[in-house]
Structure 1
Amino acid sequence: MRIMGLDYGDKRIGVALSDAFGWTAQGLEVIERKTENGHLERIRELVRDNGVEAVVVGLPKNMNGTIGPRGEICMAFAEELRQTLGLPVHLWDERLTTVSAQRTLLEADVSRRKRKQVVDKMAAAILLQNYLDSRQK
């Protein structure tokens, strides 16, 4: 069962995909949000081309566990995906995934320009892996 992970942002959406067994997550690409619904069309293509059966959208919560304006935007996006794709869409707490991705890239001595290109898909892979790990328990 392939699962797609999405790290939703104002300008970019990081995309990750699980292996066929749903054990591991790999960063796939970063979708630039340039047009009104271009990102939805690209997600639909990726779902179709990869046989995705479910989607996980990162839900940015505040450190105290509450959901702020950014979280509400992600919840609306998840609902839009449910209606567009006709697949199960799960929300997953993504607190600190981008920070973790940035830290990993810094430790690997990746240049600032290259970090900007990959941090979103890496954050998507981290949140998807966390989701997959939670299902294994």
Structure 2
Amino acid sequence: MRIMGMDFGSVTVGVAISDPLELTAQGIETIRYVEHKKNLLFERLQELIKQYEVDSIVVGLPMDLVGTETARAQASRGFAKSTRRKFHLPVDMWDERLTTAAAERILIDADLSRKKRKKVIDKEAAVLILQSYLDKKRMEKKRDE
């Protein structure tokens, strides 16, 4: 069992995958797409879902600092709905507040150039989204035991 995490943007989707025990998230790739050719995006996601034997998906939900959805949230919700329909997998939305800023700090601390950061920031944001989801899931499981 693995979970796929995604940071959905207007031109890229960052993708991360959990390990089989659902303890850690690893960045896989950043997929560039064109709005009117989303079928290519979904084809690549299908390949990754099959390759990693994904059984559920988490999509980042853009929120502002006070916890209300941003204008980008509707696009993310639409993407999650399309993803659920295309792949017949459960899709959860997860608060992605500050993940891009945190990803940027991590990449700056790793001394990546601005050009290199731009190529991987969405993938790193997907890792942060998925890892926080996994951590919360693990905490809830412990609490219920």
- TM-score, with normalisation over the residues of structure 2? 0.92
Pick which of 60-69 and 121-130 moved more: 60-69
Corresponding residue of 2:44 = 42
Report what 2:127 is aligned to.
Answer: 125
- Cα deviation 1:17-65 (Å, max 9, x = unaligned): 0000100000000101133321111111110111000000000011111
Q: Shift of the alpha carbon at 1:68?
A: 2.6
Question: Could you list the runs of 5+ residues in structure 1 that have no partner in the other structure?
Answer: none
SS of match in other structure, 2:46: helix
How far, CA to CA, are the matches of 1:27 and 1:47 in structure 2?
14
Higher helix share goes to which structure? 2
Q: Which runs of 5+ in 2 are unaligned?
A: 140-145
What residue in structure 2 maps to residue 91 of structure 1? 93
Higher deviation after alignment, 88-97 or 102-111: 102-111
Q: Which runs of 4+ in 1 moved over 3 A?
A: none
Query: CA offsets, 1:89-114, max 9 Å, x none?
Result: 00000000010000111112111111
- CA–CA distance in 2 between the matches of 1:69 and 1:108? 31
2:22 matched residue in structure 1: 22
Shift of 1:117: 1.0
Q: Give how far 1:3 is off.
A: 0.2
Equivalent residue for 1:6?
Answer: 6
Mapped to 2, the partners of 1:90 and 1:6 lie a distance apart of: 10
**Aligned equivalents of 1:116, 1:55: Cα separation in 2:** 24
Sequence identity percentage: 47
1:84 to partner: Cα distance: 0.3
Q: Which amino acid aligns with 2:56?
A: A
How many corresponding residue pairs? 137
Following the alignment from structure 2 to structure 1, what is the Cα–Cα distance between the partners of residues 21 and 132? Answer: 15
